[in-house]
Structures are given as structure tokens and as C-alpha cells.
Amino acid sequence: MHNIVLIAIDTQRPDHLGCYGYDRPTSPRLDAFAAAGATFEALWSASNFTAPAFTSLFTGQYPNHHGVFNFQSRAESSPVSDCLKANGVRMGGAVAFRFFNRLLGKVWSEVEAVTDTRSFNYDKRLPAAVSDAGIEWLQAHGHEGPFALFLHFDGPHMPYRLPDEHAHRFGDVSAADVPADIVDMLFPQHLEVVEQGHARRGGGMFALTEAVDRGRRRLDDTTLQWMVDRYDDSVFYNDQQVGRVFDAIEDLNLADDTVVCVISDHGEELMGHGHLSHAGIHLYDDVIRTVGLVRGPGLPAGRRIARPTSHVQLWPWLLRLAGADHLPTTWQDLDLLNESLTSPVFCVGEFKAAVRCGDHKLIRRRIIPQHGLVKKLRLWAKMALLRELGDELFDMAADPAETMNLASERSLRDRMRRLLDEHLASPVAAIGLSTAADLDAAEKARIEKEMKDLGYM
């Protein structure tokens, strides 16, 4: 079979890339890559934050089936890695966040975290370190038989730590015109500032996004533009580093025998619906629509796939595309290029769940059943306070920005509700079983510290 390289760029919104219509030159390497392959216009993450999103990607299961909603649990098995092993494929990986070692520890045979320091000094050259590790791996193993390589770039994830030459590429808003605490938090220039900043402000980025959510903190247009500029700076820097991996695949004469796929795990809210970041309540496309670019032997150049597709379908399809044997029967007819397929896709967050079928999308409140009563009540209270309890129904063709709620159209809403309810009530899918595992206390404390430093807690 052919080789597979899967590149994930964390927090990358597709609409901030040229190949998805962005008007800033943020992504020359990805744009050229997209022109030579297939572009998925409506590829959905299975959730709105990193842990459930990647678990779904690597197991082919939705979060309501695998049950992993944090970094303290993980999938114990995956039909994806089972299939790769059955085909004698060597697996490798280089990731920007250390907690991936644990998250994917049972479903991917070899994952190297290129840094132990992301959570402590926010290494400015982390994307370059991932590229270096990926290229070294390809040089060492690229000609030893079929391989599958997974690379995870931290992408435009807050805080925006960048090498100086990339730090002010876009925009002309001066940091002096932005509140100093926001600059400190989102664009820390010194290691000490990050550590002290978190301690001093008790929660850092999470506190900021929470304050914005609850309307206690307002971001003026200048501040928001400055944030978007730094986001775009990060997009460009990651694009350059991903491009180095593309170059290595060419230089090592692997391109004709390798399927290369570039995705993001989720997007990022940049105040489109009055909120920031990801991992919160919302399941708007700002945060769940992802990048999906694929190039490889036999794939037509310049193809754009408009129909809704899901991350849970991606590995099964890539394996089929690469010519793998031993595919589970449910994967054998899966052709993501077939525009006539109309099956719905789903997204399951901690607070809400969503379904997309054709042009229509329904978002509905649904707290995950794993939470205890107290946590559930707390989440309900938060949604009630933010007036987030009602259904939202959108026509994505007419209203891609999700501004006109059509939930009053009862027959359509009821039909979409039924699709979502049937999915949520369905038993664990036929494509494998995974369960969350407990951690020892020290490991748990270490992961919690990392999550805090990344701004999630």
C-alpha cells in the first residue's frame, strides 16, 4: 500500500487560508498544495476541542461513542491502528503538545513530543521543531516499507508565540494601542511574563475568554484586529513549517507513493458570535469546520468537495485511498469524493451537539452524560445565563455565517432533531470500541498543569 502522512494544524480556521478564500497571503504553501489535490469545503471536527477531536479522528468514532472528553482519559484501542498494523505499516509521530503521548498512547504506536517545555516556556520555534522531527523521521524510515506518519503543529493556538521575524507580518495596529494585560497574555515576549502573568491574573487566557463570554470584558475593534493579526502571523509561520515537510517528501522521492492529508482539529472563535477561542459552549462553524486538504496518487488536482464530511470518516477513507487491505466492511465503500452521498455528520461537545444534513445544520443543547449532577447543574446554569438553551437551525448555503436562526420552522427542526437524537441514542458504532482509562494522581496533576498553562482551566 501507499504511505500516509497526516498533518494536523491545531486551531486553524479554514477561512484564514488563501485556498479557502482568505484575502491575506497567510498560506502560500498550503494554497499550492490544495491546488494539486482535493479540498474539503465542509469537513467537520467531531467536537470543538482537542482531546475529543483527536480521539475521534484516530478511532473513527464520535465522542458520544468513545467517551473521551479530556486529556485525563484516552481510547484504549482503535480500528485505525489495528488496520495499519494488519497491513504491516510502520507508525510514527511528532507532536507539539506533550499530552498527546498519553492521549494517543494506545492507538498510535510511536508518538514523540518534540518538546517538554510548551507548558513552561512556550517555545517560539515549536512548529520548526515538529517539522525537524518529522523530516528526520522521513529520512530514517521513508524507504523502509509502508509508513503512516502523524505530525501535529500547534498552529495559531493562543498564546501567539512567534520567532521575531514572523511576529509582525500582518496588520499595523500597535501593541501600545491594545490593553497591556491582553498583550502580556496573548503575545508574551519573555518566559517570566507567562509564568508570572498566569499566577498574577489567576487563570490567564481562560479568565479572559470567560470574561468576554459573560460580557464582563469588552474587546474594542482595535484590540480584536490586533488579535486577528497575531493569529494570521501564526498561520503564516506554521504554513512555512508545514511546507518544509512537503519539500522533504519531494526531496526523498516519496511523493508518488504517499497520500498526504492536512487538517485542523477545530477552528477558533474570533468574536464572530461574541465569543473567543474554542472548547466552550459553541458549535458554530467558526469552531468546528476544519481544514481538509488531500493530495496523493490517483487523486484529481483542484477537486473541491462541497458536501458535509466528518473527521470520523477520514482515516477509513485515507486507508482505502492508500490501498490498504483488511479494511472493516463498513469502510470498504466509503468514498469521500462521491458528491451524491447525503449521510448526515455530527459534532458532540461538552454542552451541545450538532447535526449537518445537506445544507441544514441544527445545534441543540445536550450536556454529556458522563458529568455528575453538580457539574451538570453548573453547566446548565452557565448556558441559561448566556441564553444558550434554545435550538439553532441554519441554512448553511444561504447563511454560512450562521446569523439567521430558522428554529421556528417546526417540521424542518423536528426532522433535524430526530436525526441528532437517533445518533445520540445509537449504540457504540460497529467500527471499534474504546474506553476511558484512569490515571495515577501524579500523571493527572501534570496534565492539569499543562492544561492550565494552555489556558483551558
> Which positions lie near Zn ion, rule CB under 5 A?
10, 50, 265
Closest CB to Zn ion: residue number:
50
Element (H, E) at 452: helix 441-453
Grid cell for residue 189: 515576549
Q: Which is nearer to Zn ion, 266 or 295 (CB)?
A: 266
Q: Which is nearer to Zn ion, 50 or 64 (CB)?
A: 50
The letter for the amino acid at 427 is P
Question: 3-class SS at 305?
Answer: strand
Read off the DSSP letter of residue 426.
S
Rounded CA gap, 345 and 354, in Å?
8
Rounded CA gap, 218 and 352, in Å?
25
Rounded CA gap, 100 and 12, in Å?
18
Q: How many CB atoms lie within 10 A of CB 402?
A: 20
Shortest distance, CB of residue 231 to Zn ion, whole angstroms? 14
Alpha-helical (H) ranges within 272-394 are 285-288, 314-321, 373-385
Shortest distance, CB of residue 142 to Zn ion, whole angstroms? 27
Read off the DSSP letter of residue 8.
E
Shortest distance, CB of residue 13 to Zn ion, whole angstroms? 12
Rounded CA gap, 320 and 327, in Å?
7
Shortest distance, CB of residue 279 to Zn ion, whole angstroms? 8
Q: Which is nearer to Zn ion, 50 or 115 (CB)?
A: 50
The answer to whether 11 touches 266, Cβ cutoff 8 Å, is: yes
Shortest distance, CB of residue 130 to Zn ion, whole angstroms? 14
The answer to whether 337 touches 298, Cβ cutoff 8 Å, is: no
Compute φ and ψ for 157, nearest 5 degrees.
-80, 135
Q: Which is nearer to Zn ion, 277 or 434 (CB)?
A: 277
The residue to which cell 475529543 is assigned: 52
Q: Which is nearer to Zn ion, 242 or 324 (CB)?
A: 242
The DSSP string of 32-66 is HHHHTSEEESSEEPSSSSHHHHHHHHHHT--HHHH
Q: Which is nearer to Zn ion, 267 or 344 (CB)?
A: 267
Q: Which is nearer to Zn ion, 71 or 331 (CB)?
A: 71
Shortest distance, CB of residue 74 to Zn ion, whole angstroms? 16
Shortest distance, CB of residue 212 to Zn ion, whole angstroms? 19
Q: Which is nearer to Zn ion, 10 or 232 (CB)?
A: 10
Shortest distance, CB of residue 47 to Zn ion, whole angstroms? 10
Q: Which is nearer to Zn ion, 50 or 119 (CB)?
A: 50
Rounded CA gap, 349 and 448, in Å?
20
Question: 3-class SS at 401?
Answer: coil
The answer to whether 273 touches 48, Cβ cutoff 8 Å, is: no
Shortest distance, CB of residue 51 to Zn ion, whole angstroms? 8
Rounded CA gap, 262 and 9, in Å?
8
Shortest distance, CB of residue 46 to Zn ion, whole angstroms? 12
Shortest distance, CB of residue 75 to Zn ion, whole angstroms? 16
The answer to whether 36 touches 292, Cβ cutoff 8 Å, is: no
Element (H, E) at 93: strand 90-95
Q: Which is nearer to Zn ion, 8 or 185 (CB)?
A: 8
Rounded CA gap, 1 and 145, in Å?
9
Q: Which is nearer to Zn ion, 142 or 272 (CB)?
A: 272
Q: Which is nearer to Zn ion, 38 or 454 (CB)?
A: 454
Helix, strand, coil share of the chain (percent; to 5): 40, 15, 45
The residue to which cell 439567521 is assigned: 404
Shortest distance, CB of residue 164 to Zn ion, whole angstroms? 25
